[in-house]
Chain A
Amino acid sequence: MLWSLGLLPIGAAALLYLGGARLGRIAVTASAALAVLATLGLAALALATGWGEAAYRWSDVLALTLAPSDAAAVFTLAVPLIALPIIVYAGFHELPPGETGRGGVRLLALLVAFVGAMQLLVLADDLLMLLIAWELIGACSWALIGYRWGEAEVTRDALTAFLTTRCGDLGLYVAAAAVFAGSGGFGYADLAALEGPLLDIAVAGIVLAAAAKSAQLPFSAWLFAAMAGPVSVSALLHAATLVAAGLYLLARLQPILDGVAWFVPLVIAIGLTTALAGAMTAICQGHAKKLLAASTSSQYGLMWLAVGAGFPAVALVHFVAHAFMKAGLFLSAGLAAKESGGYELAGMRLGRRLPGVAATTLVSSLALAGMIPLGSAWSKEQVASAASQQSLWLALGVALAGGLSALYATRFQRLAYGRADRQTHDRLPPSTPPTRGEIVALRSLAAGTLLLSILWWPPAHQAVAGWLATHWPPSHLWLLLASLALVLAGIVGGLLMTRPGRRVEPASASQAVVAEWFGLTALLARVAGAVTALARRLARFDDARVDAGLHATARFADALARRSAGRGETLADGLPGGLSRLTDRAGGWARSAQSGQTHHYYSGIAIGVALVLSLLVIGVLL
């Protein structure tokens, strides 16, 4: 039964792709949305009626299993819920009004299939199934990022994103193999039973895979490459699917991964570093989507920290809050780009042109800033409280990351939707209002963000704790106040940074480096360049050197043949007689060799083999 959660959207996507090209925009969007809605309904049904495990055997050793879990429950609901407005938006934002055509249908079908693959991922109960879904979402993201394949850079960026995340996937291969080596199976239960170095290897592999997908350091730079995709794709990747998969995996397996001593310090270190570095990158970025992308890494860093501190449920709640606000912000950035003609924040300040969008976006921006009373502020507080269980400094680090988030959120909001002076506004052509579908999508995500404010209400968050069978970390008033002060400071800083007339793009060379992930983007490009250069060199080596031995052998044989041909002519006259004599003698030799004694045979064969081998060796040496 659980299979239907993943297979329904995948099947629907296939049907949509095959049959949708002739349909109009509204019909295609509606069918895609319906498929996701049905998935959401199925997920709710599965939770309500408690669907049990499901298995599909490939062989005695290989079995694909699905099973419900708390983390899976959150994700199976959240993923289609977030995907729904995104798909509606995608239909209205990317597709032409008339007949959809192959390209548009491909986009929507892939988005729906992505949801299905993600559902399989979160329901997986063994590493093989996980790996399958894990790679499938990678492939989906490649196809989605490369949606506009006509532009050469787009497909290159898609390749970069795919390769970086697949680099992490290797970790899952190793983890699965380690579990098999230790237990003969691939299940999470087998992983839990693992001991010794194999457990270390498996955990390392899983953390590697999660870090690459979650865009944690040092893998963060691929998110920038992923910006080549349409904005709806970015929204889905960041809010609910690809980047979320890494966090999901950590949260789901946290009780097992915790069994390794270095897990907690490592994950906390990665999380905190990414949270702070990502925030700095976002502060320096002048590209709207890249600013949001860096912020995604940063926010997921906070979630990692929560998992590391031993509170995966906190990370899950922050994931949901982040999903609503980040999806809303991306969709809004798409509208802003449509209006201003590009994603450069320097050319925006669209407050007068898109007042409605600006107001709606403000909700999401405040949520990103961690402003009370929005839900994300509560979940961020929980992260800080969880961190304070580990150490005071860690909690302050979280609060600082929160302050920086407030800074870049303010910066985004004001640069994108601040009010330009009236003269600039009047000079521009009249604006094209967003379509109703886009507005509905944006508003529903903002409404979700607002609704989550209920988390501040104690009975509400207690209910969530009960549902997830967990408890929240004890909170401290001083920490709350410190966080709030830092958020306010961040907002003030953001306002100061975005005073009219100040430069938007990175002001100095060092800021430009920070804006590109402290040089990670360039490093990634350099690694790729080095591997390609090595490959070219090896290819030349293969042609020139490895093949040379063969050519030399051929030349040698040729020369030999010529010489014997030259001599052979003179010999030819005497040959018939000589040949018969030779045959005679050979026959005698053969008779004597057939002694029936095995050691004769052995030595004969050995001599033959040695001859052939030495010929080969000579050939290679030549």
Chain B
Amino acid sequence: MILSIALVVPLLGALALAGYPHWNAVQVRRLAMGTAAVSLAALIVAWLGFDPQGPQFQYVTELPWVPSLGVAYRLGVDGIALAVATMSALLFTAAAVYPVDTRGEPRGYYAWLLFMQGVSLGVFLTLDLLLFYVFFDLSLVGMFFLIGRWGHGRPQLSALKFFLFTFAGSLLLLLAIIGLYLALEPHSFDMRQLIEQRPLAGGGLYAGLVFLALMLGLAIKTPLVPLHTWLPQAHVDAPGPVSAILAGVLLKMGVYGMIRLPLSMMPGTFARYAPWVGALALLAIVYGALVALGQGNLKRRIAYTSINHMGYSVLGIAVAASAWGDPAARQLALTGASLQMVVHGLITGALFFISGSLWQRTGGYELGRYGGLAHQAPRLTGFTVLAAFASLGMPGLAGFVAEFQVFAGTFAVYPWLAAVAIVGILITAALFLDMLRRLFFGHLPASLGTFSDLNRAEGLVLGVLSLGIVTIGVYPSFVLALLESASGALVGGR
């Protein structure tokens, strides 16, 4: 019930905004904030009531929908889904609070934002494979309009590229989902049954193809190199809060999908391909970091670090899927990978909000135009330094806890992959410190003489996200308990 509230309230809010044209901009924004916050509050309540020692899936709701096809409205969460969903709801609330130029169409903007929140939470909360796919696809639609209508630069082109590319991934995913559905007797889209019965455990060509389609579809969304080229373009042209959602929530759907579908439903097949998936993740880690270092555009740089960071997540998942290795190490890697999803949402979300603020003040992302802002905007500098250090894995902040677990777990299973992946943190350190240097230190260009510091709404959003980053950094046990309950079931349950 509580999950349904989290899911339905934003959708109702979106409907209300779309249907009732008489609210003014302030009222629209307030409604959006309120609705998003209700959804967030529902998930927090669910978190507080979640029993880590209890069954794997909790808060399960099931309403029959199309019984003949085995489709039903099924909701339920394990620890990983709940943590990622709560982070997403927080990010959506932050996006609603964050001031943005809505080009005179606040109603449309906030309606699409709430729609996105509903369908994105749907992806994480549902236990029905078909619903999962539907939500997965609907999120593309929402993002398409948000980028295309409220973006800058060449938004239509970016939105189209984003949509077509990721939609191709969705189609593969659909094929795979149908494959899984048909393999289950009696046919059903119930994830719990698929996880329990593992219809394709026998392996063979069919299982291999289904796995391949699943992974390809999810890898596009994650994204893994070389399927990532839609990402930087979409980010550069999207408004700041939309970028934060894109990186913070949409990318997670790919990684979360890997945990929920291939890792849970066909671990035997995954185990065979795990080293290859790990190697691809390694490519994303090193290549993503290096390409990010080569960018002179702030947003492209942050976008490429997302590829690097999601690489850690996928690496952890591949380790968890491995056929050999100590279960404790594999569980550590999976816990790290799922924590990485949560912290990447907070950190990269914060970084994209920040780049949105810079855009609103100067209209440019070229690092070369900036410099010396530390004196002009000390609060902005403080938050950016914190987020950048969190992103480069500084202990005491959230990123370290996740990446350390992935490294330690990976080393015990695939030492060579870990040894190379570790270089990634050196490159990310270089690129973030270089970014800080070029934005905030050195001489202040004359054109930035009137640059103003963060306003209250921006400060509030970044303050809350930073609080989350620091809290997870020094007191991660409250998240880890939740994630470990899920990762234990996933790794131990084979």
A residues at B contact (CB < 8 Å): 57-62, 102, 128, 131-133, 135-136, 139, 142, 146, 149-152, 154-156, 158-159, 162-163, 166-167, 170, 173-174, 176-178, 180-181, 184, 186, 531-532, 534-540, 542, 546-547, 549-550, 554, 598, 601-602, 605-606, 608-609, 612-613, 616
In the assembled complex, which residues on chain A have CB atoms less than 8 Å from the CB atom of B410? Answer: 177
In the assembled complex, which residues on chain B have CB atoms less than 8 Å from the CB atom of A159? Answer: 430, 433-434, 437
In whole Å, how far is A134's beta carbon from the nearest beta carbon of chain B?
Answer: 8
Beta-carbon contacts of B414-436 to A below 8 Å, as 1s and 0s? 01001100110111011001101
B394 touches A550 (CB 8 A): no
In the complex the two chains form, what is the Cα distance from A58 to B328 in whole Å? 15
Q: 11 other contacts beyond A177-B408, A535-B290, with CB at 8 A cut-off?
A: A59-B484, A155-B442, A159-B437, A167-B426, A180-B411, A181-B415, A535-B294, A550-B229, A598-B182, A608-B175, A612-B175
In whole Å, how far is B349's beta carbon from the nearest beta carbon of chain A?
Answer: 22
B459 within 8 A of A: no
In the complex the two chains form, what is the Cα distance from A62 to B182 in whole Å? 42
In the complex the two chains form, what is the Cα distance from A612 to B167 in whole Å? 13
In the assembled complex, which residues on chain B have CB atoms less than 8 Å from the CB atom of A178? Answer: 411
Describe B's contact surface by its main secondary structure.
Answer: helix
Describe A's contact surface by its main secondary structure.
Answer: helix
B70 within 8 A of A: no
B294 touches A61 (CB 8 A): no
In the assembled complex, which residues on chain B have CB atoms less than 8 Å from the CB atom of A535? Answer: 290-294, 427
Question: Contacting B400 at CB < 8 Å: which of A132, A155, A177, A601?
Answer: A132
In whole Å, how far is A9's beta carbon from the nearest beta carbon of chain B?
Answer: 15
Closest 3 CB pairs of A and B: A539-B294, A177-B411, A535-B294
- Given the known interface contacts A155-B442, A546-B226, the answer about A162 and B429 at a Cβ–Cβ threshold of 8 Å is yes
In the assembled complex, which residues on chain B have CB atoms less than 8 Å from the CB atom of A549? Answer: 226
B182 touches A174 (CB 8 A): no
In the assembled complex, which residues on chain A have CB atoms less than 8 Å from the CB atom of B212? Answer: 609, 613
Question: Contacting A132 at CB < 8 Å: which of B326, B335, B396?
Answer: B396
In whole Å, how far is B372's beta carbon from the nearest beta carbon of chain A?
Answer: 7
In the complex the two chains form, what is the Cα distance from A546 to B224 in whole Å? 12
Residue of B nearest to A135 (CB): B395
A602 touches B206 (CB 8 A): yes
Show 9 residue pairs from A and B whose CB-CB distance is below 8 angstroms, ordered by the A residue: A59-B477, A62-B476, A131-B395, A142-B433, A149-B374, A159-B433, A535-B293, A550-B165, A605-B182
Residue of A nearest to B374 (CB): A149
In the complex the two chains form, what is the Cα distance from A328 to B480 in whole Å? 47
B171 within 8 A of A: yes
B332 within 8 A of A: yes
In whole Å, how far is A429's beta carbon from the nearest beta carbon of chain B?
Answer: 30
Question: Contacting B229 at CB < 8 Å: which of A60, A136, A152, A542?
Answer: A542
B378 touches A102 (CB 8 A): yes
A173 touches B171 (CB 8 A): no
In the complex the two chains form, what is the Cα distance from A184 to B412 in whole Å? 9
In the complex the two chains form, what is the Cα distance from A337 to B58 in whole Å? 68
In the complex the two chains form, what is the Cα distance from A167 to B422 in whole Å? 10
Beta-carbon contacts of B277-318 to A below 8 Å, as 1s and 0s? 000000000010011111100000000000000000000000
Residue of A nearest to B286 (CB): A538
Question: Contacting A166 at CB < 8 Å: which of B287, B295, B426?
Answer: B426
In whole Å, how far is B312's beta carbon from the nearest beta carbon of chain A?
Answer: 13
B394 touches A61 (CB 8 A): no
B476 touches A58 (CB 8 A): yes
Question: Contacting A135 at CB < 8 Å: which of B165, B394, B407?
Answer: B394
- Given the known interface contacts A542-B229, A550-B161, the answer about A163 and B429 at a Cβ–Cβ threshold of 8 Å is yes
Q: Which of B368-386 contact A (CB under 8 A)?
A: 372, 374-375, 378
In the assembled complex, which residues on chain B have CB atoms less than 8 Å from the CB atom of A62? Answer: 401, 405, 476, 480
Residue of B nearest to A117 (CB): B396
Q: Pick from B294, B372, B422 the residue with the most CB of A within 10 Å.
A: B294
In whole Å, how far is A539's beta carbon from the nearest beta carbon of chain B?
Answer: 3
In the complex the two chains form, what is the Cα distance from A181 to B419 in whole Å? 13
Q: Pick from B161, B396, B443 the residue with the most CB of A within 10 Å.
A: B396
B146 within 8 A of A: no
B209 within 8 A of A: yes
Beta-carbon contacts of B334-373 to A below 8 Å, as 1s and 0s? 0100000000000000000000000000000000000010
In the assembled complex, which residues on chain B have CB atoms less than 8 Å from the CB atom of A612? Answer: 171-172, 175, 213
B195 within 8 A of A: no
Q: Pick from A102, A156, A542 the residue with the most CB of B within 10 Å.
A: A542
B178 within 8 A of A: yes
- Given the known interface contacts A62-B405, A538-B294, A539-B295, the answer about A149 and B161 at a Cβ–Cβ threshold of 8 Å is no
Question: Contacting A170 at CB < 8 Å: which of B175, B375, B423?
Answer: B423
- Given the known interface contacts A146-B441, A159-B430, A539-B291, the answer about A173 and B404 at a Cβ–Cβ threshold of 8 Å is yes
Residue of B nearest to A533 (CB): B294
In the complex the two chains form, what is the Cα distance from A616 to B290 in whole Å? 26
A601 touches B182 (CB 8 A): yes
In the assembled complex, which residues on chain B have CB atoms less than 8 Å from the CB atom of A598? Answer: 182
In the assembled complex, which residues on chain A have CB atoms less than 8 Å from the CB atom of B419? Answer: 174
In the assembled complex, which residues on chain B have CB atoms less than 8 Å from the CB atom of A167? Answer: 426
Question: Contacting A609 at CB < 8 Å: which of B213, B291, B412, B443?
Answer: B213
In the complex the two chains form, what is the Cα distance from A539 to B408 in whole Å? 30
Question: Contacting B290 at CB < 8 Å: which of A128, A156, A534?
Answer: A534
B48 within 8 A of A: no
Residue of A nearest to B434 (CB): A159
A58 touches B411 (CB 8 A): no
In whole Å, how far is B34's beta carbon from the nearest beta carbon of chain A?
Answer: 32
B328 touches A184 (CB 8 A): yes
In the assembled complex, which residues on chain A have CB atoms less than 8 Å from the CB atom of B422? Answer: 170, 173-174
Residue of A nearest to B300 (CB): A539
In the assembled complex, which residues on chain A have CB atoms less than 8 Å from the CB atom of B194? Answer: none
A538 touches B291 (CB 8 A): yes
Residue of A nearest to B228 (CB): A546
Beta-carbon contacts of B314-332 to A below 8 Å, as 1s and 0s? 0000000000001011001
B389 within 8 A of A: yes
In the complex the two chains form, what is the Cα distance from A133 to B394 in whole Å? 10
A176 touches B396 (CB 8 A): no
Q: Which of B445-481 contact A (CB under 8 A)?
A: 476-477, 480-481
B441 touches A155 (CB 8 A): yes
In the complex the two chains form, what is the Cα distance from A178 to B407 in whole Å? 10
In the complex the two chains form, what is the Cα distance from A149 to B433 in whole Å? 12
In the complex the two chains form, what is the Cα distance from A310 to B315 in whole Å? 41
Residue of B nearest to A139 (CB): B394
In whole Å, how far is A558's beta carbon from the nearest beta carbon of chain B?
Answer: 11
In the complex the two chains form, what is the Cα distance from A139 to B401 in whole Å? 16
A149 touches B440 (CB 8 A): yes
In the complex the two chains form, what is the Cα distance from A598 to B199 in whole Å? 13
B442 touches A173 (CB 8 A): no
In the assembled complex, which residues on chain A have CB atoms less than 8 Å from the CB atom of B389? Answer: 139
B443 touches A538 (CB 8 A): no
B203 within 8 A of A: no
B205 touches A150 (CB 8 A): no
In the assembled complex, which residues on chain B have CB atoms less than 8 Å from the CB atom of A608? Answer: 175
In the complex the two chains form, what is the Cα distance from A62 to B425 in whole Å? 20
B412 touches A605 (CB 8 A): no
A152 touches B443 (CB 8 A): yes
